[in-house]
Amino acid sequence: MYIDYMRLLTSFVLLCISATQAQLSNNEEYKENLKLSHLSDGKLLAHFEFKTKINRVKTMPLVDYGLYPKAIGQVLDSLSVSEMHLSFTQGRWNYEEWGYPPTLASGTGVELWAWIKDFGEVDTAWKALTNTLSGLFCASLNFIDETITTEPRLSFQSSQHKKDEQLRYGSLPHENVCTENLTPWIKLLPCKSKSGISVLLNPHKIYNSHFHTMAVHAKSICLNELCSEREVELIQTITSVMDPVRETSRRDWLLSTVFDRQLKNVCPLAKESKIFIDLENTGDHYELKPANQQLSNNTAVYDLSQEALDTSMTWQHENSFQYPLEPKRPIVYAERYFTGYGQERGGLKMTIHNEHKTESISVIYYDSIPWYLKVYIHTLQIDVIGDHNSKEVVQKMYYQPAIDRGRPSTLECQLLLPPNSIVTLSMDFDKVFLKYTEHRPDANRGFDIGSAVLSFKDLGKDM
């Protein structure tokens, strides 16, 4: 009788496990990918992407969590957040030599923007969101208060959002990124760093790079007008720009050497686990191992579900890498810098390049300027280098002045860049006299100003 009972119990447990796996396979899916690209200056770009998705779920707070992390799901449900983007970045992305990044661009430090349903307490929900994410990722997001929070009207827009949702944006450009931020980020993955592509996330290698960014993109998408059903999606990305030429003067690399970890097995919960190697900027005389890869759109594809591998790429006839004399620039790129001198007055200048020979391109320029830089909007000047009329460049503009110790200045411009032109925006500001308690501990270093955002309305790119 005891043996029969144990058999029934074992069968029941196996049945429950099978039913749970079937439910996960039908409603949830997890994909992980790594894309390696070669930049024009010899650097190696590694882009990790981990996507967790619940396909169809009733519009109510989730109770049972499988692959989707409960910490993120509860934030979306309890604070009525329909979309959230959080990034941790160190370094400067070189648009003129590297082109566009493989993911949403972000400025140095921490950047957060979210769409929140308007139930009359959006600011309260935004404050709760920053405090929650601050504790979750061991960051100083709780310092994003009303003095650095803005409400963009033209940028970060999407047709998926309804009229009862409001947008909030904030950034901390002086925030440093460290392993204490990476550890809770990895814990959101179904397989953590025990198996699959996430094994390669070695902080010593990722942070020892020219540029690295870590991001979390969470969405709750309604599937019908009544929003009775929805999809919940979480995309986690890590992008790092490494330089093998700096150590050996050659572009050769081995996957286990680049990350100092061996990729041995696939994550058993992953529906897809692949490595993509972009063959652009590689030339013709290279050797890629293993040689059993699939080729698609000038990209080599390795499926980790079939075998464990250690990919390598060598250039046998290349004794040392020769830097290109003229890098291939993107169609649209921009720079922003400060002008003036002294401790009282200054200026802000933004230069936007349109390299397209025949087409005009519509872009949206967004800038959040701290309250202690008193901007004079009447000094805003727009110049066009080229045979074009500057009055036709500005299509729409939104400006919200700052309040001392209350809110920053917000400037948004929808611009139509003429073909083969350079558009320059400039304006003056004064530096407000600060109390001694308002200076940072390292006052001699100065203040960090957040990055401006340039959105390509037609191309779907952000800078």
How far apart CA 141 and CA 129 sit, in angstroms, is: 9
Tell the residue number behind the tokens 């009733």, with chain if given.
Answer: 58
Question: Cβ(69)–Cβ(128) under 8 Å?
Answer: no
Q: Would you call the peptide bond into 184 cis, given omega within 30 degrees of 0 as the criterion?
A: no
N residues, the chain: 463
Question: Cβ(43)–Cβ(242) under 8 Å?
Answer: yes
Sequence-distant (6+) residues with CB within 8 A of 116 are: 79, 80, 81, 82, 122, 125, 126, 129, 165, 166, 167, 168
What domains, with CATH codes, occur in the chain?
A: 28-60+67-315 (no CATH), 332-433+448-456 (2.60.40.1170)
Q: How many CB atoms lie within 10 A of CB 250?
A: 15
Q: Which pLDDT belongs to residue 22?
A: 38
Q: Which helix (H) or strand (E) holds 371?
A: none
Q: Please report, in tens digits, the pLDDT of each residue of the chain (463 residues total).
A: 334 433 333 333 333 333 334 345 458 899 999 999 999 888 999 999 999 998 877 766 676 788 999 999 999 889 989 999 999 999 999 998 898 999 888 889 999 999 998 888 899 999 999 999 999 999 999 999 999 999 999 998 876 777 788 999 999 999 989 899 999 999 999 999 999 999 999 999 999 999 999 999 999 888 777 777 888 899 999 999 999 998 888 899 999 999 999 888 889 999 999 999 999 888 778 888 887 778 888 899 998 877 767 888 998 888 888 888 677 788 999 999 999 887 788 999 999 999 998 899 999 999 999 999 999 999 999 999 876 777 789 999 999 999 999 999 999 999 999 999 999 999 999 999 899 888 888 888 888 899 999 998 655 455 5
Helix axes 70-78, 122-136, angle to 10 degrees: 170
Task: State pLDDT tens for residues 130-153.
Answer: 999 999 999 999 999 999 999 999
> What tokens does 11 get?
């069968």
